Amino acid sequence: MKAPDTLQEAIVYFADPDRAFEYAKRFRWPDGNVVCPRCGKTKHSFLKTRRLWFCYICQKQFSLKLGTVFEDSALGLDKWMTGFWMLVNCKNGVSSCELARTLGITQKAAWFMLQRLRLALRDDFFGSKLGSGPDSEIEVDETFIGGKARNMHLSERKRRITGTGTKDKTAVMGILERGGKVRTTVVPNRRKKALQDEVYKHVTAGAALYSDALLSYEGLASDYAHKVVDHAVAYVDGRVHTNGLENYWSLLKRGVSGTYVSVEPFHLFRYLDEQSFRYNNRRDMNDSQRFQLAMSQIGGKRLTYSELTGKEQSPYHEATGTRETPIPF
């Protein structure tokens, strides 16, 4: 049976445990050499009846899930793969309530699943910068993310809405290379140091840089070909505009407000990773290819429920963001 191209085909394809196992194995170890996640050695034997390997070096068994975002999950690969397919291919995302109904699991399990899958979608950049090409044009912009008061329960509204304007919202900055990728991050504020530090971190010196008239961007002209469009006068001045990022913000907020409804600042960076992955891989890539790319990123990433809920110290908690709150037991 050929690899799936649609969600319906994916559900049928991954319903067979052996097919799902072989498919995931191909992306877990793309070179075909199964490596023990604990010691990195290839000296092992395969226990076919249990779909486990026994490492002769560690003297321990390991599964395909070990060392991936699937680790320590009792859910089968059929549910993981279907949920992953929906997450990477639904334009506005998929809520934990919807996924729970689709897969026949609890909302809490679906919420945990989605947060682990979002970790797999994260782009680590590996030190690369945007704007290295001779004709590169970079847009920078910022926005505020926060749940709409009219969508909140009265008790939740009283807890979260303590002022007007941007007081109870989270600042997010975006950097977009036209014809290329977008990078987004949660920032503590819109002050000069916070925004310019991100520009210097992600944009190659000398690149054409376009922003709005926010005073925090003043001073970048010494290192970049920086041009400004004043939105009080016009939104476009020739090549100078930030409409690409405005489009991205529209997609992001549609997902946050329409699909997730309420998201806490603590987790917002995870939802940024999710939206950026779909946005950066929307062109020249069908659903199957996008899913395969996501599957190739499952290794070497682990997120426990204690880390996710803040019950133990985690490096991921240094960035703040929004949360789709799990329904309590």
- Give the list of residues 6+ apart from residue 252 with CB closer than 8 angstroms, or none: 145, 184, 271, 272, 275
178-189 pLDDT, tens per residue?
A: 999 999 999 999
So what's the pLDDT on residue 168? 72
Rounded distance between C-alpha atoms, residue 115 and residue 121, angstroms? 10
Phi, psi of 60 (to 5 degrees): -135, 155
Beta-bridge partner residues of 46: 53
Q: Residue 134's pLDDT is what?
A: 82
Rounded to the nearest 5°, which phi and psi values hold at 61? Answer: -85, 155
Q: Which pLDDT score is estimated for 264?
A: 85
What is the pLDDT at residue 133?
Answer: 82
Yes or no: say if 315 and 322 are a contact pair by the CB < 8 Å rule: no
CATH topology of domain 127-265: Nucleotidyltransferase; domain 5 (3.30.420)
How is the chain split into domains, by residue range?
127-265
pLDDT for res 23: 96
Provide the pLDDT for residue 161: 56
pLDDT of residue 263: 85
Q: What is the pLDDT of residue 329?
A: 28
Give the residue among 285, 290, 270 at the shortest CA–CA distance from 85: 290
Q: Residue 327 in contact with residue 110, Cβ under 8 Å?
A: no
Q: Could you say which residues of the chain have pLDDT below 50?
A: 165, 314-323, 325-329
Element (H, E) at 8: helix 7-14
* Amino acid occupying residue 302: R
What confidence score (pLDDT) does residue 319 get?
Answer: 35
